[in-house]
Chains A and B, each alone.
Chain A
Amino acid sequence: MRKTLLFATLALTGLAGSALAQPAKTECLAGAKPGGGFDLTCRLAGNALHAAKLIKDPMAVTYMEGGVGAVAYNHVIGTRPGDGGLVIAASSGSALLIAQGKFGKHDENAVRWVGALGTDFGIVAVAADSPIKTLKDLITAFGKDPGAFPVGGGGAVGSQDWMKMAMIAKEAKVDPKKMRYAALEGGGAVTTALQGGHIKIASGDASEMINLHQQGKLRILAIMSDRRLPGAFKDIPTTFEQGYTIDWPIWRGLYVGPKVSDADYKWWVDTLTKLTKTDEFVKEREARGLFAFDSLGADFDKRVKADVAKFRALAKEAGL
């Protein structure tokens, strides 16, 4: 089956060279408006690939917004399943939506997962003048009186920000559904609401909070990671260090359509493997506030499927 498709693709695109030839035209599809996380992923891949001279022409970035990537997911599976030059941006948020059945009738096996390019981490923060200094303080106080701690996150109930907080609530023996949770419009709205005192706990991502943390406008209590992060984050303790096994990487990666030939799939995996080792890539990745997250090809495929399974269990546990 794969083989006939491979030949069909080759015949169609008129590519007769070696099996590892670069697709004639590369395109990255961001399943949202310009300016969001998918756009960032596409631009990271595109700029770095071009800067490292791994592709000849710059990679085109296109947009198809709808359902946080759901429309793009269905479009690729339905309309462009065999386009070897097309990669689509995804994130751990996509895995969460797939786990909740919000990507339509297709599941995580419907596409071919190429690799992750980097990751951010979940954090929990409080206002700078809050008496709460550590994650333990927070969990104790929150467990005593959850009503005194309105929470804000950049997504609806069931989103990544809500899930992060639900895991903390669980540690505090509080029913996640009893949280006073406001679904605000993105990370910027969360940090302003925290500074304005409208919420007491902010759930978000490390890279969008670090500047305000350094300026003393808010306090990051813990980074949801099993290892200490470098650079500006080196003084912020992790959840694991504070005795809680909560981790929340927010990886950003790419997938291709289900009928993309093995040769094209391998070309993308090999090229991205080469790319992640270049200085150009590291520079572009760090400029976007992402940490290394080297998981490519079969390893990434396993990671995504494990994530979806984990999220399914979590959602069920939280009673969604």
Chain B
Amino acid sequence: MSFDFLWQGMGVALLPQNLLIGLIGCFLGTIIGCLPAIGPINGIALLLPIAYTSGLPAESALILLAAVYYGAEYGGRISSILLNVPGDAGAVMTAVDGYPMARRGEAAKALAISGISSFYGGMIAVIAMTFLAVPLSWLAIKFGPAEYFVLMVFAFATLGSMVGHEPVKTLLGCVLGLMLTTIGLDATSGAYRFTFDQPELHDGIEFIILVIGLFSISEVLLMLESQVKGTLKPLAVTGSYPSWSEIRTIWWPSVRATVIGFVIGVLPGTGASVASAVSYTTEKRLSDKDGTFGKGDIRGLAAPEAANNAAATGAFVPMLTLGVPGSGTTAVMLGALMLYNIQPGPQLFVEQPKLVGGLIASMYIGNILLLIMNLPMVQVFARMLLMPNWILIPGITALSILGVYTAYSSVMSVLIMFGIGIIGYLLRKLGFDMAPIVLGFVLGKVMEVNFRNALALSGGEFGIFFSSTLSIILWIMAVAIVVVPIWLRRRQAARAAAA
């Protein structure tokens, strides 16, 4: 194929009007991402009618919406790191290593590192999309229910790395997440499970409500407790930026995470939250030799941030090439294309080179803009931590309530959030990690639905899980990720013994 579309697109993306629109989109996206519960999908739904009625041409509208989307993946990290409250679904794993860094007084460094890895992820993914979009679209088609199930087996296999010093608690947390994910409409049979005749529970517990409850409400409760005990100390924010060697350290983790994130983003059934979870656990599996992950390791911070940006970009691939949205947010964008009477599909690259090229070219520019925006302004965001507790604690609570209520307009959702928050607080007091609960929740649903769909299609034959080359490759990867590290450790131990 030729890359005419990219050159034509550069011309479109570099028009002053589109540059400005891209900048506005990146800025709005960062703010939307930063605010808990308000995700890119809400922002885009709000902006789409404004863009359409104000007569923006299709390519400008798309540039704006896309910039909000990947801008939000940048912004989500800010509240994860500073407040331990993920700003959006893809930023959950960012808190695991980002927040401990902030508590150590390295908030500015954590923000810079994650900004750079976001840039790595976004940029590499755009390059990958430029060259691989059309060839990769077959992947989305080849993935059926059986392949998705085996992919989830692989994801759970990487989860083994989370089994830290207290494997029982990790497992229990994971099971708790799996249990929570069964609440609501059973996507296969159409039955309602554990809904107690409450329509608010028909869709189950929303991921973002779970995350805000587990992370932000429980955090507020912990802060209150130490405030009462008089042990809560304000954090010192040092202005140190990452060194060159640190920036080099995160290069390979970011690249690995980008590959994982991009592929998961391309698959229509999985998104940024799965991508960041799998990339984090994979990176921990590969790199966590000294047990520093979860205590503020920059590699553990970089991996999920690169992955969620790559996933957001990857989600455009099936949307543009197949007309199948790779995520909820790209589904809204697909609606935008339809509004402009543009039919997505493989012919789009030929028929609408300015539109596709303009979008892709704008993503190169957007990622650079976001990096610039997110590095010098890091200090501004880091100042947020200096807020006194009498502002911070009510502030987080208000933001959580506001966010959940805005997104779901129901008091019940707010109550569920508080309920989960109290449970989260108790579990944290008992020494449980929140991450395994979240992972069980995210991965469990995809796994269950695809397991049952695959068996429905095969008429109950388990052979379907081994019937394609793709699934067999995934099985091998799943086994390898468990066995290889053990084997390496054995060999190392044997060598040490021999020496």
What 0/1 readout, one digit per residue, does chain A (6-39) give for beta carbons within 8 Å of chain B? 0000000000000000000000000001110001
Whether the pair B185, A196 counts as a contact (CB closer than 8 A) is no
Closest to B143 in A: A196
Query: Count the B residues whose beta carbon is within 8 Å of the partner chain — how many?
Result: 53
Are the C-beta atoms of B456 and A180 separated by less than 8 Å? yes
- Whether A155 and B456, one on each chain, are in contact in the complex, defined by CB atoms closer than 8 angstroms, is no
Taking a contact as CB atoms closer than 8 A, the residue among A46, A66, A103, A156 that contacts B408 in the complex is: A66
**Is there contact, CB below 8 Å, between A71 and B188?**
no
- Bitwise interface map of B from 154 to 195 toward A, beta carbon under 8 Å scored 1, else 0: 000000000000000000000000000000011111101000
* Stretch of A109-117, A168-176, A182-190 contacting B (4+ beta carbons < 8 Å): A182-190
- Bound-state CA distance A104–B202 (Å) is 10
User: Which residues of the other chain, B, contact A198 by a CB distance below 8 angstroms?
Assistant: 144-146, 457
Determine whether the beta carbon of A40 is less than 8 Å from that of B335: yes
Taking a contact as CB atoms under 8 Å apart, the answer to whether A183 and B141 are in contact is no
Other-chain contact of B190, A58, A63, A159 (Cβ < 8 Å): A159
Whether B141 and A195, one on each chain, are in contact in the complex, defined by CB atoms closer than 8 angstroms, is: yes
Contacts A39-B45, A65-B203, A155-B190; A181 near B456 (Cβ below 8 A): yes
Residues in chain A near residue B324, CB distance under 8 A: 188-189, 191-192
Which residue of chain A has the shortest Cβ distance to B326 in the bound complex? A188
Which one of A64, A73, A157, A198 has the greatest number of beta carbons of chain B within 10 Å?
A198
Least CB distance from B342 to A in Å reads: 11
The answer to whether B197 and A192 have CB atoms under 8 Å apart is no
With an 8 A cutoff between CB atoms, is B288 at the interface? no
B382-413 interface with A by 8 A CB criterion:
408-410
Contact between A65 and B408, CB atoms less than 8 A apart: yes
Contact partner of B192 (CB less than 8 A), chosen from A34, A64, A102, A197, is A102
Residue A287 interfacial (CB < 8 Å): yes
Q: Within the complex, what minimum Cβ distance (angstroms) separates A89 from chain B?
A: 14
Is there contact, CB below 8 Å, between B188 and A156?
yes
**B140 — nearest CB in chain A belongs to which residue?**
A192
Contact indicator A35/B190 (Cβ below 8 Å): no
B366 to chain A, nearest CB (A): 22
- CA gap between A188 and B344 in the complex, in Å: 12
Chain A positions within 8 Å of B341 at CB level: 287
On whether A34 and B199 interact (CB within 8 A), knowing A62-B409, A182-B453, A188-B323, the answer reads no
Contacts of B449 in A (CB 8 A): 183, 185
**How many Å lie between the Cα of A155 and that of B189 in the bound state?**
9
Chain B residues in 8 Å Cβ range of A71: 199-200, 202, 410
Asked whether A196 lies within 8 Å of B456 as measured between CB atoms, the reply is: no
Please determine whether A180 and B410 come into contact, CB atoms closer than 8 angstroms: no
Interface presence of A43 (CB below 8 A): yes
Q: What separation, in Å, do the CA atoms of A288 and B187 have in the docked complex?
A: 27
B328–A33 CB distance below 8 A: yes
Pick the contact of A157: B188, B408, B457 (CB < 8 A).
Answer: B188
Which residues from B are CB-within-8-Å of A215? 345, 347
Q: Is the CB of A67 within 8 A of B199?
A: yes
With contact pairs A181-B456, A196-B144 given, residues A64 and B410 touching in the complex (Cβ less than 8 Å) = yes
With an 8 A cutoff between CB atoms, is B239 at the interface? no
Neighbouring A residues of B140 by C-beta, 8 Å = 192
Contact A61 B49 (CB under 8 A): yes
A67-97 CB contacts (< 8 Å) to partner B: 67-68, 70-71, 73-75
A63-B45, A192-B322 known; A74+B199 contact, CB < 8 A: yes
In the complex, A245 has a CB within 8 A of chain B: no
Q: Which residues of A contact B454 (CB under 8 A)?
A: 182
Give chain A residues whose Cβ lies under 8 Å from the Cβ of B199.
66-67, 70-71, 73-74, 103-104
* A198-B455 Cα distance, complex, nearest whole Å: 12
> Bound complex: CA of A74 vs CA of B42, how far in Å?
23
Q: Are B335 and A35 in contact (CB under 8 A)?
A: yes
> Per-position contact with A for B362-387: 1 when CB-CB < 8 Å, else 0?
00000000000000000000000000
Q: How far is the CA of A152 from the CA of B187 in the complex (A)?
A: 13
Closest beta carbon of chain B to A34's beta carbon, Å: 3
B144, B322, B410: the one within 8 Å of A66 (CB):
B410
A156 and B189 form a contact (CB under 8 A): yes
Of the candidates B49, B145, B268, B328, the one whose C-beta lies within 8 Å of that of A35 is: B328
What are the residues of chain A within 8 A of B186 when measuring CB–CB?
156
Q: Which residues of A contact B200 (CB under 8 A)?
A: 66, 71
Which residues in A have their C-beta under 8 angstroms from that of B335? 35, 39-40
Interface residue? A143 (CB, 8 A): no
Give the docked Cα–Cα distance between A61 and B347 (Å): 33
Per the bound structure, the CA–CA distance linking A13 and B318 in Å amounts to 48
Are A157 and B190 closer than 8 Å at their CB atoms? yes
State whether the Cβ of A199 lies closer than 8 Å to any Cβ in chain B.
Answer: yes
Nearest chain B CB to A4 CB, angstrom units: 29
| Chain A residues closer than 8 Å to B44, beta-carbon distance | 34
Q: Is the CB of B188 within 8 A of A188?
A: no
Q: Contact at B202–A196, with CB atoms within 8 Å?
A: no
B residues bordering A, Cβ < 8 Å? 41-42, 44-45, 49, 53, 140-146, 185-190, 192, 197, 199-200, 202-203, 268-269, 318, 322-325, 328, 331-332, 334-335, 338-339, 341, 343, 345, 347, 408-410, 449, 453-454, 456-459
Chain A residues within CB distance 8 Å of chain B: 33-35, 39-40, 43, 46-47, 58, 61-68, 70-71, 73-75, 102-105, 147, 150, 152, 155-159, 162, 180-185, 188-189, 191-193, 195-199, 211-212, 215, 287-289
- 6 closest cross-chain pairs (CB), A and B: A67-B202, A34-B45, A198-B144, A156-B190, A188-B324, A35-B332
29 CB contacts below 8 A, A to B, read: A35-B45, A35-B328, A35-B335, A64-B408, A67-B203, A73-B199, A75-B409, A105-B197, A150-B456, A150-B457, A152-B457, A181-B456, A182-B454, A183-B188, A183-B190, A184-B145, A185-B269, A189-B268, A191-B324, A192-B318, A193-B144, A195-B141, A196-B141, A199-B457, A212-B345, A215-B345, A215-B347, A287-B339, A288-B338
A35-B45, A183-B453, A288-B338 given. 5 additional CB < 8 A pairs? A43-B49, A181-B456, A183-B449, A188-B324, A212-B345
